């Protein structure tokens, strides 16, 4: 029955796809209009970021909070339940050794940590000049922490990202974005209005007003949310919980 | 004052982030947490009510970041609010406030996250109602969904909630992605995401197949969310395991938001372009009536009170869809008023069930028989709400349903009225049976259905507080909701609701408002506005439904003592043996039904509009 339904649906979908305009035949007014006005209006040469964080910035608020909610949801589902304790696992089979993390993995992971931080930071803070931005930068930043875990240092990993702090950073990122938008209202401007000086040179790091600021907050939020989700999952796998209801 | 548009979404989001940010400071300060959350939800409700009153004369548009249309081309995102959209969002905010008051000191364990997620849920619902942009609609739809999945799974120590939440998340996500691919198609055709702009663009050409496919795909996610047969299976499973205050929001607002989305998508984008109004109306009506009947039958045979109420919601969703699907302003106005009245009484019913669960630790109708006699106030509120659900005048429900039936009769569908009355009697009778049995110990307990009893017994108490008394914060919200339901029925809403619906259904006026900033107060509607008021027939149908429901409840309770026809037949069983296998609880089956249903709908639409 599933296959019959799926076949019917696919047929219907393909029937509709035949009506799509040809490749490269862009029908709408949106693209040309944005390309004409974006750089002049925002002084940002990263037009993708200008769309993300300015023209359609309100969508991005929503998307950011979806991630925020997802992280909170993970925390709810995987939280330590009342009466449960945690301990590190002890190998029950005493006659074999756990394979240690190989030196090659350690070296490479630690070697990459620094550059990854730099690249992530750069991505998150240069949205105005090229199509990077907080989403990509945040994910890369979170990777740096995961590299530390890969290098075999779970304890260092959890010390570097205690849940309360990650939570606070995540909230600061999400709330910061919403607050940047809200600040415009105090001067009677619409929500998310770009009220900061735009700078003189399109494509300069200091150009584009709120776009750069918002991208930075998104970077914070995304990095913290990923870190939170990963560390919840790691805790679930690496620590044994006992007791319970 | 237009800043209220932005504030109604930004404030709950900001407060949610702030609550999580200062989480360590809030532990042990439960009262402060509750107060902040309740005040935030209440202030959002006030903002939205103000917007609703302000837009009474004409819709208003708010452009985010100040990007007004540039020579008729939209480059930003807008909120477009009229009384119907703002009113529905306000309804959601009122329900969130009531739920937050009810859960005062509830959920000790995940306090901060619970409050934060309720607020993001509220922001998602508000954004969904007000937005005028199809992709933005999807974003808020997802925020609403993710918050709801997470809240459903709030008791991960038990198997039920995790499973129900997973079913909920998978079915709704599948629907959402299908919708997203529909949005991609319509963007491919028009290069626009603003609903007014898309509508203006595709309205200029005869409907082509791409538009038809995009229409159905966009509807898919909304049909799943609004629990229309055969996309409805997840709803009862999610309701059964979700915390009771959350059920209030699922039944009272979330399902209705899905239906609102259908109306919004049809009237602001596809209405003109697709044409074939009569045929499309028949498709909607078929789905609506099928849903109303299936929901009512399942409702009557259920013994798990939360599931019973969930099936009644499905039945009502079918009636709302029929109202919307008549594709006339009066039908839409009727659906709007019906939604408001239903949300109040259904919310009250769930909250009373929550009190029973708090005090007695069960939602099993058979076990509870006669055991809740000492919960006198709760019993009275529950019974009143049950009568409201059975459309007894002057509860707001009878008005809305009356208008839908009147529209049906005026458009050559007089059979709509008896079908609706029958569905109302079944669902209302089931709820009144619970009221009579559980709170007053009337008649005999209904027989124990083994599967249902197992499901009902899995439901354990959600509360940590003292179980020997009902706190005032638990009993006040349902009482207020019942009073509001009566208020809706007594307010002369007719002309305002009708005018709002005429404007909602006028695509040309919508386009002019959004694209050219026009202030359209009295648009020349494609239909003459039908008179909306309280007619004798509305009151009579309402009275008949309520009397029928009472009679049915009486029969169900005293069946075994009746001298005739008592051959061991249990009322309700056998009604749905055929359908029973469908509600398997296995998510694969549910998705199969969704795909199958979509394929059938696609075939029908392809035949109608070639």
Q: Which domain holds residue A127?
A: 44-87+101-243
pLDDT at B526: 43
Task: Kindly determine whether residue B6 and residue A182, on different chains, have CB atoms separated by under 8 Å.
Answer: yes
Give the integer Cα–Cα distance in Å for B368 and B39. Answer: 35
State mean pLDDT over B175-204. 90
Residue B159 at interface with chain A, using a CB cutoff of 8 Å:
no
pLDDT confidence of A87, banded at 50, 70, 90? low
Comparing B142 with A98, the larger pLDDT belongs to B142
Task: Kindly determine whether residue A5 and residue B162, on different chains, have CB atoms separated by under 8 Å.
Answer: no
Q: For the stretch B543-572, what's the b/e string if a residue is b when 16 or more beta carbons lie within 10 angstroms of its beta carbon?
A: ebbbebbbebbbebbebeeeeeeeeeeebb
Measure B56 CA to nearest chain A CA, in Å: 22
Comparing B315 with A39, the larger pLDDT belongs to B315
Please determine, for residue A195, whether its predicted confidence score (pLDDT) is greater than 80: no
pLDDT confidence of A244, banded at 50, 70, 90? very low
Nearest CB to A8: which of B133, B187, B603? B603
B116-155 residues touching A, CB cutoff 8 A: 116-117, 120, 123-124, 127, 133, 135-136, 139-140, 142-143, 146-147, 149-151, 153-154
Q: Which residue has the tokens 């109420």?
A: B309
pLDDT at B411: 86
Residue B380 at interface with chain A, using a CB cutoff of 8 Å:
no
pLDDT at B259: 96
Please determine, for residue A155, whether its predicted confidence score (pLDDT) is greater than 60: yes
For an interface test with A, the pick among B8, B23, B65, B178 (most A C-beta atoms closer than 10 Å) comes out as: B65
Task: Kindly determine whether residue A54 and residue B75, on different chains, have CB atoms separated by under 8 Å.
Answer: no
Q: In three state form, how does the secondary structure of A169-199 look?
A: HHHHHHHHHHHHHHHHHHCCCCCCCCCCCCC
Residue A4: inside a domain: no
Each residue of B328-379: pLDDT tens digit? 888 999 999 999 999 999 999 999 999 998 888 888 888 888 888 888 899 9
Say how many CB pairs under 8 Å bridge A and B: 237
Each residue of B378-408: pLDDT tens digit? 999 999 999 999 999 889 898 888 889 888 8
pLDDT at A245: 38
pLDDT confidence of B453, banded at 50, 70, 90? low
Q: Which two tokens stand for residue B150?
A: 């997470």
State mean pLDDT over B275-296. 92
Residue B202 at interface with chain A, using a CB cutoff of 8 Å:
no
Nearest CB to A193: which of B66, B133, B216? B66
Residue A63 at interface with chain B, using a CB cutoff of 8 Å:
yes
A72-131 residues touching B, CB cutoff 8 A: 72-73, 75-79, 81-82
Residue A14 at interface with chain B, using a CB cutoff of 8 Å:
no
Residue B157 at interface with chain A, using a CB cutoff of 8 Å:
yes
For an interface test with A, the pick among B2, B10, B164, B201 (most A C-beta atoms closer than 10 Å) comes out as: B10
Each residue of B4-48: pLDDT tens digit? 899 999 999 999 999 988 877 777 777 888 899 999 999 999 999
- Best-predicted range by mean pLDDT (A60-64, A97-101, A203-207): A60-64
Residues 6+ apart with CB under 8 A from B554: B436, B443
Residues 6+ apart with CB under 8 A from B26: B19, B32, B33, B111, B112
Look over chain B and give the mean of its residue pLDDT values, rounded to a whole number: 86
Nearest CB to B191: which of A7, A27, A245? A27
B145: closest chain A residue by CA: A66
Q: Which chain A residues are Cβ-neighbours of B3 within 8 angstroms?
A: 185, 190-191
Each residue of B566-609: pLDDT tens digit? 455 555 555 555 555 666 667 888 888 888 899 889 889 888 88
pLDDT at B573: 55
Residue A32: inside a domain: no
Residue A1: inside a domain: no
A182: closest chain B residue by CA: B10
Task: Kindly determine whether residue A56 and residue B3, on different chains, have CB atoms separated by under 8 Å.
Answer: no
Q: Which chain A residues are Cβ-neighbours of B223 within 8 angstroms?
A: none
Q: In three state form, how does the secondary structure of chain A look?
A: CHHHHHHHHHHHHHHHHCCCCCCCCCCCCHHHHHHHHHHHHHCCCCHHHHHHHHHCHHHHHHHHHHHHHHHHHHHHHHCCCCCEEEECCCCCCCCCCCCCCCHHHHHHHHHHHHHHHHHHHHHHHCCCCCCCCHHHHHHHHHHHHHHHHHCCCHHHHHHHCCHHHHHHHHHHHHHHHHHHHHHHHHCCCCCCCCCCCCCCCCCCCCCCCHHHHHHHHHHHHHHHHHHHHHHHHHHHHHCEEEECC
Each residue of A100-111: pLDDT tens digit? 677 888 888 888
Each residue of B79-126: pLDDT tens digit? 999 899 999 999 999 999 999 999 886 666 556 888 999 999 999 999
Each residue of B509-534: pLDDT tens digit? 888 888 888 777 654 444 444 555 67
Burial of A3 (0-12, 13-18, 19+ CB in 10 A): exposed
pLDDT at A80: 57
pLDDT at B345: 95
**Can you give the pTM of this predicted structure?**
0.91
The answer to whether B388 touches B376, Cβ cutoff 8 Å, is no
Q: Which chain A residues are Cβ-neighbours of B597 within 8 angstroms?
A: 5
Q: Which two tokens stand for residue B530?
A: 């039908």
Q: Which two tokens stand for residue B464?
A: 């940590």
Look over chain A and give the mean of its residue pLDDT values, rounded to a whole number: 78
Q: Which chain A residues are Cβ-neighbours of B197 within 8 angstroms?
A: 29
Each residue of B42-88: pLDDT tens digit? 999 999 999 998 888 788 899 988 888 877 788 889 999 989 999 99
Please determine, for residue A203, whether its predicted confidence score (pLDDT) is greater than 70: no
- Best-predicted range by mean pLDDT (A136-140, B229-233, B310-314, B541-545): B310-314
Interior angle at CA B38, CA B360 and CA B378, nearest 5: 30
B201: closest chain A residue by CA: A28
Task: Kindly determine whether residue A62 and residue B65, on different chains, have CB atoms separated by under 8 Å.
Answer: no
State mean pLDDT over A116-131. 83
Residue A37: inside a domain: no
Comparing A14 with B576, the larger pLDDT belongs to A14
pLDDT at A8: 85
Nearest CB to A27: which of B153, B190, B599? B190
Please determine, for residue B440, whether its predicted confidence score (pLDDT) is greater than 60: yes
Sign of CA dihedral B127, B132, B133, B134: positive
Q: Is B585 helix (H, G, I), strand (E, B) or coil?
A: coil
Sign of CA dihedral B147, B151, B154, B156: negative
Residue A134 at interface with chain B, using a CB cutoff of 8 Å:
no
Burial of B205 (0-12, 13-18, 19+ CB in 10 A): exposed
Residue A80: inside a domain: yes
Each residue of A179-191: pLDDT tens digit? 888 888 887 788 8
A52: closest chain B residue by CA: B76
Comparing B464 with A52, the larger pLDDT belongs to A52
B578-597 residues touching A, CB cutoff 8 A: 588, 591-592, 595-597
Q: Which domain holds residue B353?
A: 3-561+569-608
Domain count of the fold of chain A: 1
Q: Which helix (H) or strand (E) holds B62?
A: strand B60-63
B60-63 and A84-87: which strand pairing?
unpaired
Q: Which two tokens stand for residue B610?
A: 């070639």
Q: Which residue has the tokens 């044409």?
A: B275
Domain count of the fold of chain B: 1
- The DSSP-derived string for B103-160 is TTT--STTHHHHHHHHHHHHHHHHHHHHB-BHHHHHHHHHHHHHHHHHHHT--TTSHH
């Amino acid at each position: 029955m599933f296959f019959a339904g799926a076949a019917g649906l696919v047929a219907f979908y393909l029937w509709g796809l035949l009506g799509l305009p040809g490749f490269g035949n862009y029908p709408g007014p949106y693209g040309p209009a944005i390309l004409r006005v974006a750089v002049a209006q925002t002084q940002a040469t990263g037009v993708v970021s200008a769309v993300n964080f300015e023209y359609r910035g309100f969508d991005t608020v929503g998307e950011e909070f979806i991630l925020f909610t997802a992280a909170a949801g993970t925390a709810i589902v995987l939280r330590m339940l009342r009466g449960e304790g945690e301990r590190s696992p002890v190998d029950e089979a005493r006659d074999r050794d756990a394979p240690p993390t190989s030196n090659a993995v350690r070296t490479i992971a630690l070697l990459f940590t620094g550059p990854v931080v730099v690249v992530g930071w750069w991505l998150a803070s240069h949205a105005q000049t090229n199509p990077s931005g907080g989403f990509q930068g945040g994910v890369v930043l979170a990777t740096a922490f995961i590299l530390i875990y890969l290098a075999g240092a779970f304890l260092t990993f959890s010390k570097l990202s205690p849940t309360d702090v990650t939570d606070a950073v995540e909230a600061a990122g999400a709330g910061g974005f919403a607050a940047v938008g809200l600040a415009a209202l105090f001067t009677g401007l619409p929500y998310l209005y770009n009220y900061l000086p735009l700078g003189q040179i399109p494509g300069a790091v200091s150009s584009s007003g709120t776009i750069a600021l918002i991208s930075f907050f998104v970077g914070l939020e995304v990095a913290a949310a990923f870190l939170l989700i990963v560390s919840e999952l790691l805790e679930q796998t690496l620590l044994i919980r006992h007791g319970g209801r | 004052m237009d800043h209220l548009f932005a504030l109604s979404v930004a404030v709950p989001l900001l407060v949610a982030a702030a609550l999580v940010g200062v989480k360590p400071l809030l532990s042990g300060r439960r009262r402060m947490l509750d107060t902040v959350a309740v005040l935030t939800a209440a202030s959002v409700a006030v903002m939205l009510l103000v917007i609703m009153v302000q837009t009474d004369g004409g819709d208003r548009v708010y452009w985010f970041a100040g990007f007004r249309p540039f020579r008729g081309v939209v480059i930003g995102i807008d909120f477009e609010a009229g009384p119907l959209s703002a009113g529905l969002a306000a309804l959601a905010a009122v329900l969130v406030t009531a739920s937050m008051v009810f859960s005062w000191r509830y959920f000790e364990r995940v306090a901060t996250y619970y409050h934060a997620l309720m607020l993001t849920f509220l922001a998602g619902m508000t954004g969904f109602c007000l937005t005028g942009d199809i992709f933005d609609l999807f974003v808020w739809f997802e925020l609403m969904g993710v918050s709801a999945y997470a809240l459903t799974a709030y008791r991960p120590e038990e198997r039920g909630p995790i499973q129900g939440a997973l079913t909920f998340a998978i079915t709704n996500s599948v629907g959402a992605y299908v919708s997203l691919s529909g949005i991609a198609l319509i963007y491919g055709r028009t290069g626009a995401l603003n609903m007014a702009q898309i509508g203006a663009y595709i309205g200029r050409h005869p409907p082509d197949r791409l538009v038809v496919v995009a229409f159905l795909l966009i509807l898919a996610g909304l049909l799943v969310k609004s629990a229309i047969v055969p996309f409805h299976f997840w709803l009862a499973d999610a309701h059964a395991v979700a915390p009771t205050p959350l059920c209030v929001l699922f039944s009272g607002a979330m399902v209705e938001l899905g239906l609102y989305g259908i109306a919004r998508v049809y009237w602001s984008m596809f209405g003109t372009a697709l044409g074939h109004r009569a045929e499309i109306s028949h498709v909607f009506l078929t789905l609506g009536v099928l849903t109303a009947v299936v929901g009512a039958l399942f409702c009557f045979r259920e013994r798990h009170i939360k599931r019973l109420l969930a099936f009644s919601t499905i039945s009502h969703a079918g009636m709302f869809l029929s109202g919307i699907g008549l594709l006339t302003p009066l039908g839409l106005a009727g659906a709007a008023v019906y939604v408001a009245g239903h949300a109040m009484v259904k919310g009250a019913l769930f909250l009373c069930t929550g009190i029973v669960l708090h005090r007695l630790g069960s939602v099993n109708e058979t076990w509870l028989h006669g055991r809740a006699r000492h919960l006198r106030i709760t019993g009275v509120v529950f019974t009143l709400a049950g009568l409201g659900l059975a459309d007894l005048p002057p509860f707001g429900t009878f008005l809305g349903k009356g208008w839908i039936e009147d529209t049906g009769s005026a458009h050559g569908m007089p059979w709509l009225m008896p079908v609706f009355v029958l569905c109302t009697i079944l669902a209302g009778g089931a709820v009144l049976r619970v009221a009579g049995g559980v709170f007053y110990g009337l008649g005999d307990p209904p027989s124990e259905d083994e599967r249902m009893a197992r499901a009902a017994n899995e439901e354990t108490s959600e509360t940590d507080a003292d179980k020997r008394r009902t706190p005032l914060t638990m009993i006040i919200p349902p009482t207020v909701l019942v009073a509001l339901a009566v208020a809706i029925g007594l307010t002369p809403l007719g002309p305002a609701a009708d005018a709002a619906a005429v404007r909602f259904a006028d695509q040309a006026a919508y386009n002019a408002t959004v694209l050219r900033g026009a202030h359209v107060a009295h648009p020349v509607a494609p239909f003459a506005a039908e008179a909306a008021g309280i007619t004798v027939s509305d009151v009579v149908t309402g009275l008949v439904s309520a009397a029928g429901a009472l009679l049915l409840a009486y029969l169900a309770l005293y069946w075994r003592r009746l001298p005739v026809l008592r051959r061991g037949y249990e009322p309700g069983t056998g009604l749905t043996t055929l359908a029973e296998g469908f509600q398997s609880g296995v998510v694969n089956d549910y998705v199969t039904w969704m795909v199958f249903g979509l394929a059938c709908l696609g075939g029908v639409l392809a035949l109608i509009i070639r």
